[in-house]
């Protein structure tokens, strides 16, 4: 036994046990190199093969076309909020934003420092407890790009479809990247911090259409230019080497699971198990309309929003090894994050606990 808990953290979050074990086995001597990945020059043959394999596996599992660059950057998803308008903003043109939650609000704050922002749809009036309606949007004629977030980690909403836009479509997929099959060509930039569905924090994945790389003005700081990172295969400076290695292991794990089709099917099954348990139990409810619910972050509450009882729920769950079920501090309530690596057995254990907890009330 390894004494691991069922960890429902929203991020950093649970990783597949098999890749942790693999990393452990490789930790002090990676594949006979006599070195840990942490100790290798980022320009060594060994590390180059780790990086190249990680990119190649990601391209394969996500079916990324050749006209897209794949970058491994630092600074988290949050640095992208600044890099995007610096790289893609255009003089006198607004950025169209679909505002579906707190992470997008943080992005808006940064985009505004570089460009005019045009909020084309928002669910802020509904406290973000549903998604903005995409069918009635009118986009600007001259937007430099359109920005949105695919999965709202804090509120538990997730877009099932994406708008067709004339301007390049930029999507924050930090909390649902690689959770389902998507057509990469429907997007122009996809970015994600690694710590939800990919690996340890410290790596940020950016998938960007190559024809956008030249938009960035030369006066922008070199470290903030996608073009410079792309020209240098993400080795312009020392990249987060261990994080890239771990990400590579996760990409291989996804391939071993049967790729994104199998991952998506499993994620749907996992989410249905938990939402059904919430719906069928009068003690709990989900504040999000069915069609907007996230398969990654399941937000729920105790009827009547009884905060004391929610606290008891969290404490008693913790005592039986079900951890990190507290909702985000900005919204309260309960949240179970069930990313790719969350085993269905953990969700079943949570469902069983919910039933026995409800029976006692």
Ligand X SMILES: *Cc1c(COP(=O)(O)O)cnc(C)c1O
Map residues 50-69 to x or -, x wherever contact with ligand X holds by CB under 6 A.
--------------------
Smallest gap from residue 282 Cβ to ligand X (A): 31
| Catalytic positions, written as ranges | 103, 172, 196
Map residues 103-132 to x or -, x wherever contact with ligand X holds by CB under 6 A.
x-----------------------------
Q: Using CB under 6 A, which of the segments 56-64, 73-81, 225-233, 246-254 binds ligand X?
A: 73-81
Pick between residue 74 and residue 140 the one whose CB is nearest to ligand X.
Answer: 74
CA 52 – CA 293 distance, rounded (Å):
36
CA torsion 331-156-58-170 (nearest 10°) is -80
| Interaction of residue 267 with ligand X, rule CB under 6 A | no
Pick between residue 11 and residue 239 the one whose CB is nearest to ligand X.
Answer: 11
Work out which of 13, 30, 54, 76 binds ligand X, going by CB under 6 A. 76
Work out which of 55, 96, 172, 295 binds ligand X, going by CB under 6 A. 172
Smallest gap from residue 156 Cβ to ligand X (A): 11
Smallest gap from residue 9 Cβ to ligand X (A): 11
| Interaction of residue 168 with ligand X, rule CB under 6 A | no
Radius of gyration, alpha carbons of the chain:
21
Work out which of 175, 225, 266, 340 binds ligand X, going by CB under 6 A. 175
CA 72 – CA 203 distance, rounded (Å):
6
Compute CA 172 distance to the chain's CA centroid, rounded to the nearest angstrom. Answer: 7
CA 74 – CA 240 distance, rounded (Å):
7
- For residues 119 and 125, the answer to whether their CB atoms sit within 8 Å is no
Element holding 218 (H helix, E strand): none
Compute CA 188 distance to the chain's CA centroid, rounded to the nearest angstrom. Answer: 17
Q: Using CB under 6 A, which of the segments 38-46, 61-69, 74-82, 341-349 binds ligand X?
A: 74-82
Smallest gap from residue 309 Cβ to ligand X (A): 27
CA 61 – CA 157 distance, rounded (Å):
25
| Interaction of residue 333 with ligand X, rule CB under 6 A | no
Map residues 194-213 to x or -, x wherever contact with ligand X holds by CB under 6 A.
--x-----------------
Q: State the DSSP string of 169-208.
A: EEEE-TTTTTSS---GGG-SEEEEETTTTTSSTT-EEEEE
Single out the residue of 342, 328, 193, 167 nearest to residue 270, CA to CA: 342
- Residues interacting with ligand X, by CB under 6 A? 11, 76-78, 103, 149, 153, 172, 174-175, 193, 196
């Amino acid at each position: 036994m390894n004494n691991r808990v069922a960890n429902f953290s929203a991020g950093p979050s649970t990783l597949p046990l098999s890749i942790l074990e693999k990393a452990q086995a490789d930790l002090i001597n990676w594949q006979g190199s006599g070195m840990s990945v942490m100790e290798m020059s980022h320009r060594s043959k060994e590390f180059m093969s780790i990086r190249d394999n990680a990119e190649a596996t990601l391209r394969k599992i996500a079916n990324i076309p050749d006209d897209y660059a794949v970058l491994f950057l630092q600074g988290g998803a949050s640095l992208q909020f600044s890099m995007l308008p610096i790289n893609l903003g255009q003089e006198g043109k607004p950025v169209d934003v679909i505002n579906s939650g707190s992470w997008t609000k943080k992005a808006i704050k940064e985009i505004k420092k570089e460009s005019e922002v045009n909020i084309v749809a928002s669910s802020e009036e509904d406290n973000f407890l549903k998604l903005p309606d995409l069918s009635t949007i009118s986009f600007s004629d001259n937007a430099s790009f359109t920005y949105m977030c695919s999965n709202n980690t804090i509120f538990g909403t997730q877009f099932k479809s994406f708008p067709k836009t004339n301007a390049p479509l930029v999507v924050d997929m930090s909390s649902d990247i690689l959770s389902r099959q998507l057509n990469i060509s429907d997007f122009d930039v996809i970015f994600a911090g690694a710590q939800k569905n990919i690996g340890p924090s410290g790596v940020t994945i950016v998938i960007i259409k190559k024809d956008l790389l030249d938009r960035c003005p030369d006066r922008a700081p070199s470290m903030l230019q996608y073009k410079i990172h792309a020209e240098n295969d993400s080795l312009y400076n020392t990249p987060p080497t261990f994080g890239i290695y771990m990400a590579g292991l996760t990409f291989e794990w996804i391939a071993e699971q049967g790729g994104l089709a199998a991952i998506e099917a499993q994620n749907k099954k996992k989410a249905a198990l938990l939402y059904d348990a919430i719906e069928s139990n009068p003690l709990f409810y989900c504040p999000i309309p069915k069609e907007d619910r996230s398969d990654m972050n399941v937000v729920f509450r105790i009827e009547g929003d009884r905060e004391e009882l929610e606290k008891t729920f969290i404490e008693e769950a913790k005592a039986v090894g079900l951890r990190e079920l507290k909702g985000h501090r900005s919204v309260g309530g309960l949240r179970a994050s069930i990313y790719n690596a969350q085993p269905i057995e953990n969700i079943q254990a949570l469902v069983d606990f919910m039933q026995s907890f409800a029976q006692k009330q």
